[in-house]
Amino acid sequence: MGTQVFSMRMDGELLDRLRTHAAKRGMSVQDYVVRTLIRDDFDERFKAAVEETEEFYGRT
């Protein structure tokens, strides 16, 4: 899988908060944002899979 560039604009206050959260975890802002997006994507896919399973087997 190759990599691509993604850029976004954000205000200084948000960037400062992201820097603080990333620093607490010893990460760069870029790594922190990417991990957050990956985690959120996983949560959504997991929730969808649970809902599909419940529909297939019937909710208990």
What pLDDT does residue 5 have? 87
What pLDDT does residue 58 have? 81
Contact 19, 29 (CB under 8 A): yes
Whether the predicted model's global pTM rises above the 0.85 cut? no
Domain ranges of the chain: 29-60
Contact 17, 23 (CB under 8 A): no
What pLDDT does residue 42 have? 83
**Helix or strand holding residue 7 (H, E):** none
What pLDDT does residue 17 have? 95
Distance CA 37, CA 21 (A): 14
Q: Taking residues 33-44, what's their average pLDDT?
A: 87
Query: Tokens 């019937």 label which residue?
Result: 58
**Packing angle, helices 12-24 and 29-57, rounded to 10:** 80
Q: Taking residues 16-37, what's their average pLDDT?
A: 94
